[in-house]
Structure 1
């Protein structure tokens, strides 16, 4: 299990090269999230967090996912700092003996990261900045678990 919060870019191919090598692994699922510019005017997304708090939250949710879906491997990488539109912001990878478990665990982790991970996000535009509020559809997605 790898749980990482970092301010530098990550290499998805390198991360997945040695991921899920356990002989019981029959499925590997990965997801990469990118900074989205819904308006066409976003200059940057800035993410803040409290070191230690974020890692503890990652550990708790990762342990829950491993127990619930009997995962053979799990990785969460989430970036902080200032990111431009299109830059990778996070990745989740899950490995399991069966594809259904790997897909479900990945979705569960992504839903948690979107709605419960302790990050504070601020969007920067040319003429103003604003904090990003939680979205109801993200809360709804998490409630299914």
Structure 2
């Protein structure tokens, strides 16, 4: 059982990656590695005006907390932060941030990857595309590749 208390925030406003790293590493002498993952809103075809992300307040925090606890049970971390945005997010803007700190790099790398794979599949967020043309998509379906990513963690318990 880990003594690390994960920091989880779900918010509409943008976040500052450098400030999150600074908050986590300030006064922590045992940290030897910090790994961050920043997920951005992408627009591969130039047709996206914004991505609308919705969630169930309360439920999303609890589920991300469960995923964070699974992460902390598997890897020895000295800090863990997850920030996920909701609302209308334009191409190039931040959507999600994971910051994992540990004494050694491998734990931080693996924990970040594990957490993101589970966030993509288990966190209760829904996405809808708003196109430059004014058209609005149906809710975006989960990708089979996201589900496939989880299988590697089942093999390495």
Q: Does 1:124 align with 2:130?
A: yes
Alpha-carbon distance in structure 1 between the residues aligned to 2:25 and 2:101: 5
Alignment correspondent of 1:5? 10
Alpha-carbon distance in structure 2 between the residues aligned to 1:48 and 1:95: 29
CA apart distance, 1:142: 1.6
Q: Does 1:143 align with 2:151?
A: yes
Alpha-carbon distance in structure 2 between the residues aligned to 1:138 and 1:40: 23
Structure 1 runs, 4 residues or longer, greater than 6 Å off: none
Aligned-residue RMSD, C-alpha: 1.1
Alignment correspondent of 1:94? 100
| 1:22-101 to 2 correspondences below 5 Å | 22-101=28-107
Ranges in structure 1 where 5+ consecutive residues have no aligned partner: none
Q: SS at 1:144's partner residue?
A: helix
For normalisation by structure 2, the TM-score amounts to 0.88
CA apart distance, 1:11: 1.0
For normalisation by structure 1, the TM-score amounts to 0.96
CA apart distance, 1:20: 3.4
Q: Does 1:103 align with 2:109?
A: yes
